[in-house]
């Protein structure tokens, strides 16, 4: 537990990265890790790209992760995986939600959404790809996409000493505990 692990959650404002990182950090704290987490608020949230950085280990100093330092990156949106790939360690894992949100230049027809992102990424990194939106919809609530991705992320981090179901119960809205636990398990086993 001495080595500090670095996690990045990247996506687009409004995708629920904040709740996923809250469950993640609370689970890690309960298991006894020192945890630091950093997120950016303000103008970048108006449809811009968002990132949450989580670092955990025995003792953590810096709250932010540098290039080539992330053990696991979970990209809530496909193009964001491309944007952040250089932050991944050479032997790191990139968890990718196979889901597209075109940005304004693409919406306006001024730029193309990059082609074959999954293919390109799989050539340079170990990738885990899932359709978290569809998995969540099948469970009855597309909004649980973030917790599906959390499940896949947790599997990639591989910290067995954490009670994730408890962390979910403690942090999601009352009445949505079971749905979110199902979503988490589906992501974990995807």
Which residues contact other proteins (rule: CB under 8 A)? 12-13, 25-26, 29, 34-49, 60-64, 66-69, 79-80, 82-83, 85-86, 88, 102-109, 111-114, 120-121, 124-125
Q: Which is nearer to other proteins, 38 or 141 (CB)?
A: 38
Least Å from the CB of residue 56 to other proteins:
11
Q: Which stretches within 31-171 are classed as H helix?
A: 78-84, 104-107, 117-124, 132-138, 145-157, 164-171
> Is the alpha carbon torsion for 154, 7, 72, 46 positive or negative?
positive
Least Å from the CB of residue 160 to other proteins:
21
Least Å from the CB of residue 189 to other proteins:
27
User: What residue has token string 């949230």?
Assistant: 45
Q: Which is nearer to other proteins, 102 or 185 (CB)?
A: 102
Q: Read off φ and ψ for residue 181, nearest 5 degrees.
A: -65, -40
Interacting residues of 169 by C-beta distance below 8 A, sequence separation 6+: 177, 181
Q: Which is nearer to other proteins, 41 or 174 (CB)?
A: 41
Least Å from the CB of residue 107 to other proteins:
5
Q: Which is nearer to other proteins, 46 or 173 (CB)?
A: 46
How far apart are alpha carbons 19 and 147 in whole angstroms? 8
């Amino acid at each position: 537990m001495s080595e500090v692990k670095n996690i990045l959650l990247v996506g687009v404002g409004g995708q629920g990265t904040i709740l996923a990182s809250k469950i993640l950090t609370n689970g890690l704290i309960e298991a006894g890790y020192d945890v630091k987490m950093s997120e950016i608020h303000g103008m970048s949230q108006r449809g811009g790209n968002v990132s949450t950085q989580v670092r955990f280990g025995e003792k953590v100093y810096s709250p932010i992760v540098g290039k080539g330092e992330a053990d696991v990156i979970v990209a809530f949106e496909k193009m964001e995986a491309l944007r952040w790939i250089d932050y991944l360690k050479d032997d790191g894992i990139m968890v990718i939600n196979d889901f597209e949100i075109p940005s304004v230049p693409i919406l306006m027809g001024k730029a193309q959404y990059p082609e074959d992102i999954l293919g390109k990424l799989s050539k340079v990194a170990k990738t885990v790809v899932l359709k978290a939106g569809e998995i969540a919809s099948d469970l009855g609530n597309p909004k649980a996409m973030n917790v599906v991705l959390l499940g896949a992320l947790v599997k990639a981090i591989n910290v067995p000493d954490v009670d994730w179901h408890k962390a979910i119960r403690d942090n999601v809205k009352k009445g949505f505990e079971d749905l979110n636990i199902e979503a988490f398990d589906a992501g974990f086993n995807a």
